A and B are shown apart, each in its own frame.
Chain A
Amino acid sequence: MESVLGRYRNLIILVGVLFLQVLGLATQVKRGGATSNVESTRLIRVWAVGAITPFERALVWGQNSADTLWHNYFYLRGVRAENRQLKDQIEQMRLDQVRLSEDAAQARRLQTLVAFKEQFISRTVAAQVIGSSGSDLSRTIYIDKGENAGIQRDMAVMTADGIVGKVLIVYPSVSQVLLISDQSSGVGALLEKTRLQGVLRGTANGEVVLERVMSDEQVPVGETLLTSGGDQIFPKGLPIGTVTQVSNGKDLFLNIKIKPAANLSKLEEVLVLVEKQERQATADDGVRVRAVDILAQRLPSVPDKPPTATPAVGANPSAPNNLVDPAVKPAGKPAIKPETKPAAKSASATADGSAGKPAQTPAASTGAGPASDPSQAPSAPPASIQPSAHESSPQ
């Protein structure tokens, strides 16, 4: 017997070690679910994570410092041109923003009518990606923020481009994030135009697919996919990606491949959604800025007159210089309205992008400042509405 044990000692030990591991694996599988597996072995995982992540963190820090040094101090070529380009872009975006805020305000008013409850992202924590699982069968990343930064399990992780995944395990100063491309991941999704709902899943080879869309539906390639909010992790309306391929799948469902909006293979910084609020939709009754008002800032005008020098309009309405413009708005409102004929035409023309030299506003041309209107007397309009001459040259 001893000779047999001695002869097959290596093999017996091999079988013993394998048996123990199979037993441990079976226990984890029986507990079921990726999350419970991870939780039941959390203590053991802490060792590996604790041994590896400090080095990763240090390396990422060193790399970022070198990048910062290079980009902020040495490599400044083209910054001036880029700055000019960005300023132009900001102007354009401000105009777009005005239009969109009008739409949003209208939507909020409608939501108020139906007592709609909406979710808001109220606080996010920025985190650096410091590592991965190192295996293509476990698509997870490690970020350099953990419990100490207020991160908890199942929080949404995203970039400015779109969603990335959810927090799976939280350690004191590190967290593991399950990417949406992992096969155990699932996200409630909604197609932007067709409003079809489905479940976003990862596949074994790292692709992202939309499941549970019936095959009799029409899904155009290129359509944007958003979060539906049904998973209680991601707020509704965050971008996920675009449809790249649609084909018939199994069991009467379409096979829809998605290209994630966020570049999951090259993540550097992410945002963790640590706080979201749900509140009743409210209509915004505040002062709205219009596109024409923004354009008006760029038009030339005369500087403000000192308030003391302005005659009281109400006291002497027949004064010859008291040219009260009926279109001048009350205090707090911009001094120029689209109805004001000459300016409106020129402003509209500029907004449309058509050629035309912007004309002076009536207020500017007549020299009637805001103080000439009784309703505006106590307060001057916002400085931004009457820029100084050198700031307002048409571009």
Chain B
Amino acid sequence: MPITYTSNEQVEVYRFSIPVTIGIPLLALFVQAFLPLRFPRFAVYIDLPLLVTIFFAMARRSPIAGLFTGAAIGLAQDMLGHNPIGIYGIANTVVGYGASSLGVKLDVENAGARFLVTLGFYLVHSAVYFTIAHGMVNMTQTWSWSRGILAGLANAVLGVALFFLLDKFKQRT
């Protein structure tokens, strides 16, 4: 699987228009909130706001932009639920920072790299969420490797397709 280690000079940095920067995360939140009404298992296995966070973070390749993107999307996701605000916020902040830091060092333009990165960050996200929810908010949670990996694979497959779609909105700096 071609994950190439590149120098900073070789890595392209992208930016996005304001409508895309605001509209895509909002659309992801909307779809995430709406589809479970028709497909109840959707919310169990798919996390669209997380995929959007990973995409923007990797494309911008700026850890600060990545962590703020993650924080904003995560906090918005928290606001739609009834749990304390900040659980998704913290998890997505970590993922946004990590994905953009990785994007600086690795070429994550090809499908294989994107698949692995998405799978890895889904598990990181789940672990951070579980830790916060269980340790800090005292929510009853059960960690399941099988469910985590299954959901990670589902997100990774969807992520590869989604990222190629979102590539259309990239603008070279």
Contacts and interface: CB of A to CB of B under 8 A. Distances in A.
A131 B76 contact: no
B133 interface: yes
Contact of B85 (A28, A52, A133, A169): A28
B97 interface: yes
Contacts of A47: 79
Interface in B68-93: 68, 71, 75-77, 79-90, 93
A255 interface: no
A342 interface: no
Given A21-B89, A29-B136, A37-B84, A131 B64 contact: no
Interface string B40-73: 1001100001000000000000011001100100
A93 interface: no
A107 to B, nearest CB: 39
Contacts of A392: none
Interface residues of B, number: 47
B34 to A, nearest CB: 5
Contact of B29 (A37, A52, A129): A52
Contact of A267 (B37, B93, B94): B37
For this complex, into which size category does the number of interface residues on chain A fall?
A: 35 or more
B137 interface: yes
Contact of A38 (B82, B94, B136, B139): B82
A85 interface: no
Interface in A31-53: 34, 37-38, 41, 44-45, 47-49, 51-52
Contacts of A44: 79, 85
B82 A176 contact: yes
Contact of A183 (B37, B129, B140): B140
Interface string A260-280: 000001111000000000000
A132 B82 contact: no
A184 B84 CA distance: 12
A18 B94 contact: yes
Interface stretch (A9-17, A111-119, A308-316): A9-17
Nearest to A51: B26
A17 B67 contact: yes
B77 A204 contact: no
B71 A59 contact: no
A66 interface: no
Given A22-B86, A24-B86, A137-B139, A52 B81 contact: no
Contact of B84 (A14, A25, A48): A25
A209 to B, nearest CB: 12
A22 B142 CA distance: 22
A52 B67 contact: no
A109 to B, nearest CB: 45
B33 A56 contact: yes
Nearest to B71: A17
A24 B136 CA distance: 12
A28 B84 contact: yes
B25 to A, nearest CB: 10
A59 B142 CA distance: 35
Contacts of B36: 132, 134
A61 interface: no
A135 B32 CA distance: 8
Interface string B131-149: 0110011111110000000
B30 interface: yes
B95 to A, nearest CB: 12
18 contacts: A10-B63, A18-B90, A22-B90, A24-B86, A25-B137, A26-B136, A28-B84, A28-B86, A41-B79, A45-B79, A48-B76, A48-B79, A129-B37, A133-B82, A135-B32, A138-B82, A142-B33, A204-B142
Interface of B: 26, 29-30, 32-34, 36-38, 40, 43-44, 49, 63-64, 67-68, 71, 75-77, 79-90, 93-94, 97, 101, 129, 132-133, 136-142
User: Which 6 A-B pairs give the minimum distances between C-beta atoms?
Assistant: A138-B81, A48-B79, A265-B40, A25-B86, A134-B32, A133-B81
Given A48-B80, A51-B26, 14 more contacts: A14-B94, A21-B75, A21-B90, A21-B93, A22-B90, A25-B87, A28-B84, A45-B79, A131-B80, A138-B83, A183-B140, A205-B142, A266-B38, A268-B37
